[in-house]
Amino acid sequence: MTREFTVVGVVGLGTMGAGIAEVLARSGVRVVAVEVDPAGIERGRGHVEYSTGRAVAKGKLAEDARARLLDLITYSTALTDLADADLVIEAIPESLDLKAGLFAELDRIVRPEVVLASNTSSLSITQISVHAGRPGKVVGLHFFNPAPVQRLTEVVRTVVTEPDVVTDVVDFARRLGKEPVVIGDRAGFIANALLFGYLNHAVAMYESRYATREDLDAAMRFGCGYPMGPLALLDLIGLDTAFEILETMYAQSRNRLHAPTPILKQMITAGLLGRKSGRGFYTYE
Ligand code: CAA
C-alpha cells in the first residue's frame, strides 16, 4: 500500500529546512517544523514569510493561498510534536554526530512504519541510518537551493532501504512538483559530486588571481549559460556548507578536485560565509 505522507516533519529550519517546509506547504502538505530554540523558529518562519511574500508581490501567489500555505506549517521546539508525522525530513547542520543522535531520538518518537529522510548533501545515509533502529526505512531526500525553485531531488537508497520506501518517496517528490533521481549512497551523490569540483576549481582560479571574481562569474554565465557564476553560487550555498561538502567528498574520493581550496577556510574563519552573513565573494545589503 502506498504511503500518503499527510503530515510531514521538517527538523532544522535553516535555508534548506525552511525552503523544504515551503515546498511541502505549497503542495498542500501539513508540516510540523522543528527547531532547537525560539530564535531558530523565528528565523525559519521569517524565511518562509519572506519567500512567499515575494511570490505574492510578484503576482505569482494569491494572498489567500499564501495565508492557507502559512497555516499549514506548525512550528515547535519539541521533537515529540512529530509523533503523528508520516515522514520526517531532517535538515540540521552537516554533522554525523548530530544527525546520528537525532535519528536515534526520532526512532523513539515516530511510529515504526514512518520513513525518516535526510537532506544531507554529502554525509553517508548508511551511517546515519544505522542509528535509527529502522535502517530499512531511511532514505536520503536531497533538495537544492533555493528549494522552492530547483526541481531536482536526489533520492538516496542504501543497501538496506526497503524498495517500497524508495518508490513511495519518489512518488511523493513528484507530488511536490520535483524531478526525482534515484541513486546509491556515495559522497556528493550525482549533482554535488559533479558541481563542487567545478566550484572548487573556480575558487582556486580566484585565489591565484588568475581572474577577477566578476570575470570568472561572467565567463560561466555568458559563455556556458549557467544562471549564476561559480563564486555567486558559492555565496548562495554558503561557504561553510560548501567547505563541509568538499571536505567530506575529498575524505571519501581522495580526488584532488575536491580538496578544499585554502582561501575557503580563511574566508569562513573571517566570517565571510556568503549571503547569509552579508559578505562572501561579494557583499550583500
Ligand atoms: N526562495 C524562493 N524563491 C526564490 C528564491 C528563494 N530563495 N530565489 C529566487 N526565487 C524565485 C524567484 O521568486 C523567481 O520566481 P518567479 O520566476 O516565479 O518569479 C525565480 O526564483 C527567479 O528568481 P529571480 O528572478 O529573483 O532571480 P534569477 O532569475 O537570477 O534566479 C536563482 C535566481 C533561482 C537562484 C538562479 O540564479 C539559479 O537557479 N541559480 C543556480 C542555483 C543553483 O545552482 N543551485 C544549486 C546549488 S547546489 C545545492 O543546493 C546542493 C547542496 O547540497 C548545497
Q: Tell how far CA 100 is from the center of its chain.
A: 17
Q: Of the listed 22, 90, 94, 154, which one is catalytic?
A: 154
Q: What is the pLDDT of residue 148?
A: 96
ipTM: 0.94
Q: Which atom of ligand 1 is nearest to the CA of 16?
A: 50
Q: Where in the chain are the domains?
A: 7-183, 192-277
Q: What is the pLDDT of residues 201-229, one digit of tens each?
A: 999 999 999 999 999 999 999 999 999 99
CATH number of the domain at 192-277, please? 1.10.1040.10
Q: Of the listed 192, 200, 247, 258, which one is catalytic?
A: 192
Is the pLDDT reported for residue 175 higher than 90? yes
Top mutation candidate among 49, 122, 149, 239 for ligand 1, by most atoms within 8 Å of CB: 149
Residue nearest ligand 1's atom 51 by CA:
144
Residue nearest ligand 1's atom 18 by CA:
60
Is the pLDDT reported for residue 285 higher than 80? yes
147 lines ligand 1 (CB under 6 A): no
Residue nearest ligand 1's atom 26 by CA:
54
Q: What is the pLDDT of residues 137-165, one digit of tens each?
A: 999 999 999 999 999 999 999 999 999 99
Centre of ligand 1 to C-alpha 131, Å, is 34
Q: What is the pLDDT of residue 260?
A: 98
Q: Which atom of ligand 1 is nearest to the CA of 227?
A: 37
238: which residues sit within 8 A by CB, 6+ positions away?
15, 273, 274, 275, 276
The CATH homologous superfamily of the domain defined by 7-183: NAD(P)-binding Rossmann-like Domain (3.40.50.720)
Q: What is the pLDDT of residue 134?
A: 97
Q: Is 201 marked active-site?
A: no
Is the pLDDT reported for residue 88 higher than 80? yes
197 lines ligand 1 (CB under 6 A): no
Q: Of the listed 119, 121, 122, 124, which one is catalytic?
A: 121
Percentage above 90 pLDDT, the chain: 95
